[in-house]
Amino acid sequence: MTKLDNVRVLMIATDGYEEAELFAPREALLQAGAQVVLASVDTQPIVGVVYDAATGKSPESKQSITPDMTLGDVDTAQFDAIVLPGGLVNPDKMRMQPKAIEIVAAFADQGKPVAAICHAPWLLIEADLLRGRRATGWYSVRKDMENAGAVVVDEAVVVDGNIITSRMPDDIPAFNAAVIAALAG
């Protein structure tokens, strides 16, 4: 197993994150030895959703998580990568936070891995990071990605330089493996 000792990963999320897309990558990174820090708009507990493919609904999760810090407290120099969980509501709220977009752009500018799953590529669009890049995302955001200049493909995970994108909860194993591989260098 890859060991990520001394690696620090930032995740940013708010209410409405897809539960599996926050907790599964977080757990995989922690098991690999990385330190994972969650930032949000404030430090109140946030609640996700659990998408049900059979019904197409996303009922509120029974599980919440308390952010470690606010977006305003993030110093990107202290982290080696950023992971952006999806869900429909979370990335939509986060892309309206100028500080969140500033953080995402800073990671990209520093050449650090920027990993986004599901609807989270909306943050990459807001930070203008997809122009000319191969990428993937949830079905309903693909046209937005295309309009932002991405070459959109239908693959479980796409790595283009330091940008890692993935489609949905079913792709989490491939997403986690790509993130860990990028951090292992």
Residue 3 has pLDDT above 80, yes or no: yes
Given a contact cutoff of 8 angstroms between Cβ atoms, the answer to whether 61 and 49 are in contact is yes
What would the two tokens of residue 148 be? 């932002």
Residue 24 has pLDDT above 90, yes or no: yes
Give the C-alpha separation, 95 to 66, whole Å: 20
Which pairing describes strands 35-40 and 69-70: parallel, antiparallel, or unpaired?
parallel
All residues at 6 or more sequence positions from 166 whose CB lies less than 8 Å from its CB, including other chains? 115, 116, 117, 118, 136, 137, 156, 157, 158, 172, 174, 175, 178
One of 24, 82, 94, 118 is an active-site residue; which one? 118
Mean pLDDT calculated for residue range 19-30:
97
What single-letter amino acid sits at 31? Q
Given a contact cutoff of 8 angstroms between Cβ atoms, the answer to whether 88 and 139 are in contact is no
Cross-strand partners of 49: 18, 60
- pLDDT at residue 148 in the model: 98
Catalytic residue check, 119: yes
Mean pLDDT calculated for residue range 150-178:
98
Quick one: what percent of the chain has pLDDT higher than 90?
90
Catalytic residue check, 118: yes
End-to-end C-alpha distance for the chain, whole angstroms: 14
One of 26, 93, 112, 119 is an active-site residue; which one? 119
For the chain, which domains are there? 8-183 (3.40.50.880)
- Tell which phi-psi region holds residue 41, choosing left (phi > 0), alpha (psi between -120 and 50) or beta: alpha
Residue 140 has pLDDT above 80, yes or no: yes
Alpha helices, H only, 43-171 = 89-94, 98-109, 121-126, 142-147
- Whole-model pTM: value is 0.95
Give the C-alpha separation, 155 to 161, whole Å: 16
Residue 26 has pLDDT above 70, yes or no: yes
